[in-house]
Chains A and B, each alone.
Chain A
């Protein structure tokens, strides 16, 4: 929107041409501010254009060619995209990314809601303040460190199996990250662990803003805790839930660090995700075109998942 109609100063200057003195003064001040303003914005725009927008355009361009990164490239049109959607090795990575949403998003948000609701009443005690710091730690450490830690916990001699054996479930113990059936859920557990604290605290912060009178009114009307949760808490947290879902869905679809460290995509292809496949195709198989097509698909997928969530949760507020 280029018309400065909302600016009262501009209105005043425009509608009172008789006061030339003040008018030109204001106008030249506005012009100075415009020029200065664009000079202020320019460096950020240049950095952004150079290292984000430009490579983004290049990704789209590369995706239409067959190129090994060294020699000449040949135009192949949409062939790389066809390959992404028909080659099971590539398409499965997208399916895996969606399965990870279950663990990275549904579990932390659902569990976070339940936990936040339970600790809501004691949120200002000293224990809760200590807990606030502690459950934030997974957010602060490098994801790589979380990956290494959990690779060890989930190993065949690791703590998870030790606990399972101790409670008499020795029969199900296994190398969780090395088993075709459990590797992807095991990666999901790592993501859930990383994101649970963040979601819980975000939701808790949202709950502290809900008017207590609402709950009292509900109690008087005879609503039980379950009814209260679904009729008051969840609807009031629309925006916070939206934030949690957005953040966690992006980290599921764009997962890289955790998978790279804990499984490298294996066993077989069972935990291969788009981010890691892009890395492998581009730098090991030297299929830059295919890697770029998958990258474009990934970027579009993220937008396609995030935009509706944003719309849904911002509308009401």
Chain B
């Protein structure tokens, strides 16, 4: 199709404006972070004497090393387990077609729209009774449960399209269901599984509510939860706060830029399916 020249130019203009609206807030954050600690700069003003040391200072006072480790531990506890459980249940509902699969699937889908605030109060008392308040388990265990609706939904959508003949052929060769699952179905499902893992990683890393309710110690929280505490402590020191915010959002940004293709595809599909 021939694209009108004027149409193409308005399109480009819109795109650039949209990118500017997205980027400019981060630029403002960045230049503010370079002002002397404790000063009150304007929103977008290059400092006379850029204080690159602010980033080191923010790294030190926020204890970034410990925070990164804590977030990584939480992700390591949540994502593999949630992906495995979701894949197995998706396989049972989508491929093995167990009896009562409809009711079971509806039960999971019901949880897709649940706002976490809806259950956070009883969760607090539940975790307290388990003696897990203020530990990373307080975030890990509930998140595994909370990710089940989406994980099952996502993996069922994959397995429902896998032809039955694949399992039949494997059965003729003498493979039982467990072996079929690991040797044939998991390798075939790898694209769906890795997209799911990306999404769950992101949602775990950015989880805020559970972190602030269930864990008091910022160093046992997720990155996002720790950022909340950082703001509470350094909220009046604007350059330092900006430097800290940049540091704390840097890891997700880095991971995103490295895996951007997969990320965008996974997030777009994720919301369509959700």
Distance (whole angstroms) from the CB of A177 to the closest CB of chain B: 13
* Interface SS, B side: helix
A256 touches B209 (CB 8 A): yes
Q: Is A38 an interface residue (CB 8 A)?
A: yes
A115 touches B14 (CB 8 A): yes
Instruction: Provide the residues of chain A in CB contact with B249, threshold 8 Å.
Output: 141-142, 145
Q: Which residue of A lies closest to B1 (CB)?
A: A212
Inter-chain residue pair count (beta carbon < 8 A): 304
Instruction: Provide the residues of chain A in CB contact with B24, threshold 8 Å.
Output: 159
Of B213, B248, B272, most buried by chain A (CB within 10 Å of CB) is B272
Q: Is A137 an interface residue (CB 8 A)?
A: yes
Q: How many residues of A contact B (CB 8 A)?
A: 105
Q: Which residue of A lies closest to B228 (CB)?
A: A144
Q: Is A91 an interface residue (CB 8 A)?
A: no
A163 and B25 alpha carbons, distance in the complex (Å): 13
B181 touches A40 (CB 8 A): yes
Q: Mark B69-110, 1 if CB is under 8 A from A, else 0.
A: 000000000000000011011011100111110101001100
Instruction: Provide the residues of chain A in CB contact with B144, threshold 8 Å.
Output: 47, 51
Task: Using CB atoms and an 8 Å cutoff, list the residues of chain B in contact with chain A.
Answer: 1, 3-4, 7-8, 10-12, 14-16, 18-19, 21-26, 28-29, 32, 40-44, 85-86, 88-89, 91-93, 96-100, 102, 104, 107-108, 111, 113-126, 141-142, 144-146, 148-149, 151-152, 171, 176-178, 181, 202, 205-206, 208-209, 212-213, 223-224, 227-228, 231, 238, 241-242, 245, 248-249, 252-253, 256-257, 260, 263-264, 267-268, 271-272, 274
Task: Using CB atoms and an 8 Å cutoff, list the residues of chain A in contact with chain B.
Answer: 1-2, 4, 7, 29, 32-34, 36-38, 40-41, 43-45, 47-56, 58-59, 62, 69, 115, 118-122, 127-128, 130-145, 148-150, 152-153, 155, 157-163, 193, 196-198, 200-202, 205, 212, 216, 239-240, 243, 246-247, 250, 253-254, 256-257, 260-261, 274-275, 278-279, 282-283, 288, 291-292, 295-296, 298-299, 302-303, 306
Please provide the 4 A-B residue pairs with the shortest distance between their CB atoms, ordered closest to farther: A51-B145, A159-B43, A254-B115, A37-B98
